[in-house]
Amino acid sequence: MRRQITVGLIFMLVVAAPLLVAGKGDAKAGKAVYDKQCASCHGAAGEGKEAIGKMLKVTLRRLGSKEVQAKSDADLRKDITEGTGKMKPLKGLSEKDLDNLVAHLRTLAKK
pTM, whole model, 2 decimals? 0.77
Element (H, E) at 98: helix 95-107
Q: What is the pLDDT of residue 33?
A: 97
Tens of pLDDT, residue by residue, the chain (111 residues): 666 676 555 655 544 444 444 458 999 999 999 999 999 999 999 999 999 999 999 999 999 999 999 999 999 999 999 999 999 999 999 999 999 999 999 999 975
